């Protein structure tokens, strides 16, 4: 059910109060990515993260998420990184290139740094699908990304 955290609540949550989270947000499709950010931020707070331990970095689009994530993950003060973006399919193969490069880049940053670097990027066929996954009828994938980051810690 949307709005309810699936796991990492209760006693586990208190263990993340000293953990530091970086959230990288793509500015492209801002209506969607802002909703994803709010979902992630709210979930982290609900699970016990301290507001002062959550930092945000904006990047122009989803293609730039891996570099933003790398810059955060390389900081000793960051324990986990959440990448939030939205790529909506158009009429050209651009969608495929951006999605593949973004997912590969995000994975590579996690493997390189040994820190959780979570893929919270919507890859949808249309705007309505994105809205449905950014706080709409299908929940908020930003929230799910935050839960994943905590689980990986």
Question: Annotated catalytic sites, by residue?
Answer: 94
- From residue 149, alpha-carbon distances to 25, 89, 92, 93 in Å are 15, 27, 33, 31
Strands 21-26 and 80-88 come out as: parallel
- Return the percent helix, strand and coil in the chain, to nearest 5: 50, 20, 30
Copy the structure tokens of residue 53: 């331990």
Copy the structure tokens of residue 83: 């990448």
Strands 139-140 and 134-136 come out as: antiparallel
Residue pair 131/28 in contact by the 8 Å Cβ criterion: no
Residue with tokens 């953990």: 19
């Amino acid at each position: 059910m949307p709005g309810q955290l699936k796991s990492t609540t209760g006693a586990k949550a208190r263990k993340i109060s000293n953990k530091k989270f970086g959230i990288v947000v793509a500015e492209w499709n801002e209506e969607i990515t802002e909703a994803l950010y709010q979902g992630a931020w709210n979930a982290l707070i609900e699970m016990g993260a301290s507001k002062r331990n959550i930092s945000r970095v904006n990047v122009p689009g989803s293609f730039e998420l891996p570099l933003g994530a790398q810059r955060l993950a390389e900081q000793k003060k960051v324990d986990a990184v959440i990448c939030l973006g939205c790529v909506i399919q158009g009429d050209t193969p651009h969608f495929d290139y951006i999605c593949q490069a973004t997912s590969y880049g995000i994975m590579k940053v996690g493997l390189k740094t040994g820190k959780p670097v979570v893929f919270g990027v919507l890859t949808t066929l249309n705007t309505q699908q994105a809205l449905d996954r950014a706080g709409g009828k299908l929940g908020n994938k930003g929230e799910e990304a935050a839960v994943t980051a905590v689980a990986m810690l």
